[in-house]
Amino acid sequence: MGWLLIRGWALLVYIFMFLPVAVVVMLSFNASQFGSFPMTGFSFHWFVELANNDAILRAFETSILLGSLTALVSTMLGVLASLALIRYRVPGSNLISTILIAPILVPEVVLAVALLLFLNALSLNKSFLLLLMGHVIFTMPFVILVVQARLVGIRRDYEEAAISLGAHPIQAFFQITLPLLAPAVFAGMLFAFTISFDDITGTLFWKPGGVETVPTQIFAMLRNSISPEINALGTVMIFLTVGLPLLGMAVARRMALQRGS
Amino acid sequence: MGIEARERRQPWILLAPALTSVTLLLFVPLAFIVVYSFWLRTATGADQVGFYLDNWQEALGDPFYRDILFSTLRIAAITTVVCAVMGYPAAYFIARSRGNKAILLLMLMLPFWISYIIRTMSWINILGVSGALNWLLQTLGIINEPIQMLYNETTVILGLVHFLLPFMILNVYVALEGIDISLEDAACSLGSTRWQSFLEVTLPLSLPGLAAGGLLCFVLSAGTYITPLVLGGPRDAMFANLVFEAVITQLNWPLGSALSLMLLAILGGLVLIYNHFLGMGQLMKGLG
């Protein structure tokens, strides 16, 4: 009886989580002129509109470029730091961990203001570089958390075995450790990309005038009125942000399986 | 150089880029806005360097700011409680389910990955004047005219709950997974009812997870300004909106610095209190 109640409650929670998203996807295929309820027919009309909207295409370009560079830089920084924390006995490693995680312990608005005003005082104005630095600093903690969690599972013995068999430490790293690390690195990069691609809180502070990422473009469009184009854009985003991590997980699992066999 | 010395130096070389970035892009900027908050923005738009308390007097003394601060904390607290009430049973269901837990968790993570702005605006499709609910009510003949359900404090809380619920569920789930299920069985076999064994064994053991989830929900909702802009009315501004206004719209950067630091002091203080009593371990488990 109690279990039935819990089950029903959980079902309601799942519906609560999914319903609004399902409505976005549904409305994006709506044929009606205003794209609101009721559904009058099935149409790709709004996706065609979307594909012809230069502002949105530019926003996509910016977001993908920003996300990729962010993923690259923050994964590099994060993987190196995680290696140090997991593979070595570093004095004060607890404090160091806390320092490295600090960017997500500080409210993002505060981080955004501090970085913007500080770099502005150094005469570095709002720019793509500022956006990149901002995105790197708040995605890095997530990369470190993800990579550390996976690194713990990789034993150091393999590397040591290679070294004792005559490999140079650098050689051992690139030929033994890095391939073992690959799934963790991949997961970290994907995570960083997704977070960067989705960010709006910091981005609105850092972006130069005229530059829009996909979330800020959606935000700007919302200020006018909600058009079905937004729903179509939302549908594309949903498939991107859900599809990419799912793909990443599948690839990581595959790589792990291959190694295991 | 001996091998030992090299061993000792290597981790620092690996840590250097990350530590330098956090220092230069977070800690130094934070120190800078502390100083900046004592400067003055003059009418001409130039900064007057010095030690002025004006910004702090305004930030701390103005009843306008104080009211918004209190309503922000109230909204964050309500959001946290709603997340806990909605999330705990759901997390319990996943943790104790005999079905495929991975799939259940994954289904929960899917909306988590969907863009925050999309999830926030999706409620307009449901609650807006031409949204699903109004259409449904009109079709059923319950109302004749569409009613405005959006743009108030309730919809802001709704949007925040929708955004933060997965954080809560995940943290509670991690804590519940760590509890040996035989403890509950033992309590039952010793004569307590299922409900009693839950209240006296499971619930207390899962409190750290609930606290971690609660902290995340509270801190993240108290620091948001997007949700009130999208789902709130003109009078539903939260504290972070004041920061955004001061920095981006009014370009009063010293005042913006003071307001940011106020927010940091309150939310950072909460994190420190949490850390003192429970440590960061539980929080990191839920995040990773």
Q: How many contacts does A have with B, using Cβ atoms within 8 A? A: 252
Q: Show the low-confidence residues of chain B (pLDDT under 50).
A: 288
CATH T-level assignment (fold) for domain B53-287: MetI-like fold (1.10.3720)
pLDDT at residue number B135: 87
Closest to A130 measured CA to CA, from A206, A195, A211:
A206
**Contact B268/A106, CB-based, under 8 Å?**
yes
> Distance of CA B98 to CAs A242, B101, B206, B286, Å?
26, 8, 20, 22
Angle at B106 between CA B102 and CA B112, to 5 degrees: 150
The domain locations on chain B are 53-287
SS3 label, residue B200 = helix
Q: Which helix (H) or strand (E) holds B41?
A: strand B40-41
Q: Is A17 on the interface with B (CB under 8 A)?
A: yes
Q: What is the ipTM of this complex?
A: 0.90
C-alpha to C-alpha distance for A44 and A35, rounded to whole angstroms: 12
Shortest Cα distance, chain A CAs vs residue B31, angstroms: 8
C-alpha to C-alpha distance for A27 and A43, rounded to whole angstroms: 10
Which of A6, A100, A110 lies closest to B260 in CB terms? A110
Q: Is A95 on the interface with B (CB under 8 A)?
A: no
Chain A residues in contact with B128 (beta carbon < 8 A):
36, 226
**For A235, nearest residue in chain B (alpha carbons):** B118
pLDDT at residue number A261: 47
- Which of A3, A7, A17 best probes binding to B when mutated, by most B CB atoms within 10 angstroms? A17
The domain locations on chain A are 1-43, 54-260
Q: Is A140 on the interface with B (CB under 8 A)?
A: yes
Q: What is the largest CA-CA distance in chain A?
A: 72
Chain A residues in contact with B282 (beta carbon < 8 A):
none
Q: Is A239 on the interface with B (CB under 8 A)?
A: no
**For B123, nearest residue in chain A (alpha carbons):** A20
Name which residue leads in pLDDT, A116 or A174: A116
Tokens, residue B170: 């995940």
Which amino acid is located at A174 in the chain?
F
Q: Which residues contact A94 (CB under 8 A, 6 or more apart)?
A: none
Give the residues across from B48 on adjacent strands.
B40
Q: Which residues contact A50 (CB under 8 A, 6 or more apart)?
A: A56, A229, A232, A233, A236
**Contact B114/A106, CB-based, under 8 Å?**
no
A12-45 per-residue burial string, b: 16 or more CB within 10 A, e: under 16:
ebbebbebbbebbebbbbbeeeebbbeeeeebeb
Position A130 confidence tier, pLDDT thresholds 50, 70, 90:
very high
Chain A residues in contact with B271 (beta carbon < 8 A):
105
In chain A, residues 21-40 whose CB comes closer than 8 Å to chain B:
21, 23-24, 27, 34, 36-38
SS3 label, residue B212 = helix
Out of A75-79, A127-131, A247-251, B244-248, which region has the weakest mean confidence (pLDDT)?
A247-251
* pLDDT-above-70 percentage for chain A: 94
Mind giving me the DSSP string for B62-121? -HHHHHHHHHHHHHHHHHHHHHHHHHHHHHHHHHH-SS-HHHHHHHHHHHHHS-HHHHHH
Angle at B79 between CA B30 and CA A13, to 5 degrees: 125
**Contact A110/B115, CB-based, under 8 Å?**
no
Chain A residues in contact with B93 (beta carbon < 8 A):
6-7, 9-10
Q: Is A55 on the interface with B (CB under 8 A)?
A: no
Angle at B160 between CA B155 and CA B165, to 5 degrees: 130
Which of A10, A113, A219 lies closest to B257 in CB terms? A113
Tokens, residue B127: 């609650």
SS (H, E, C) chain A: CHHHHHHHHHHHHHHHHHHHHHHHHHHHCECCCCCCCCCCCECCHHHHHHHCCHHHHHHHHHHHHHHHHHHHHHHHHHHHHHHHHHHCCCCCHHHHHHHHHHHHHCCHHHHHHHHHHHHHHCCCCCCHHHHHHHHHHHHHHHHHHHHHHHHCCCCCHHHHHHHHCCCCHHHHHHHHHHHHHHHHHHHHHHHHHHHHHHCCCCHHHHCCCCCCCHHHHHHHHHHHCCCHHHHHHHHHHHHHHHHHHHHHHHHHHHHHHHHHC
- The model's pLDDT over A84-112, given as tens digits with 9 standing for 90+, comes to 988 888 888 888 988 999 998 899 999 99
**Contact B125/A23, CB-based, under 8 Å?**
yes
For A54-260, CATH gives: 1.10.3720.10
Chain B residues in contact with A204 (beta carbon < 8 A):
226, 244, 248
Closest to A149 measured CA to CA, from A121, A115, A199, A183:
A183
C-alpha to C-alpha distance for A107 and B240, rounded to whole angstroms: 10
pLDDT at residue number A180: 83
C-alpha to C-alpha distance for A188 and B27, rounded to whole angstroms: 24
Does the structure show a pLDDT above 50 at A243? yes
**Contact A37/B132, CB-based, under 8 Å?**
yes
Q: Is A83 on the interface with B (CB under 8 A)?
A: yes
Q: Is A178 on the interface with B (CB under 8 A)?
A: no
**Contact B15/A237, CB-based, under 8 Å?**
no
Which amino acid is located at B118 in the chain?
I
Closest to B84 measured CA to CA, from B96, B92, B95, B73:
B92
- The model's pLDDT over B142-162, given as tens digits with 9 standing for 90+, comes to 888 888 888 999 999 999 999
pLDDT at residue number A49: 85
Pairing of strands B47-48, B40-41: antiparallel
Chain B residues in contact with A146 (beta carbon < 8 A):
288
- The model's pLDDT over A38-49, given as tens digits with 9 standing for 90+, comes to 677 788 888 888
In chain B, residues 48-107 whose CB comes closer than 8 Å to chain A:
86-87, 89-90, 92-94, 107
- Which of B7, B22, B72, B261 best probes binding to A when mutated, by most A CB atoms within 10 angstroms? B22
Shortest Cα distance, chain B CAs vs residue A96, angstroms: 8
Which of B113, B121, B248 lies closest to A218 in CB terms? B121
**Contact A114/B26, CB-based, under 8 Å?**
yes
C-alpha to C-alpha distance for A189 and A181, rounded to whole angstroms: 12
Q: Which helix (H) or strand (E) holds B133?
A: helix B132-139
Mean pLDDT of chain A: 86
C-alpha to C-alpha distance for B240 and B263, rounded to whole angstroms: 8
Shortest Cα distance, chain B CAs vs residue A261, angstroms: 23
pLDDT at residue number A210: 87
Does the structure show a pLDDT above 80 at A241? no
Tokens, residue A251: 């690839």
Closest to A153 measured CA to CA, from A1, A256, A24, A5:
A256
Chain B residues in contact with A17 (beta carbon < 8 A):
108, 111, 162, 165-166
pLDDT at residue number B284: 66
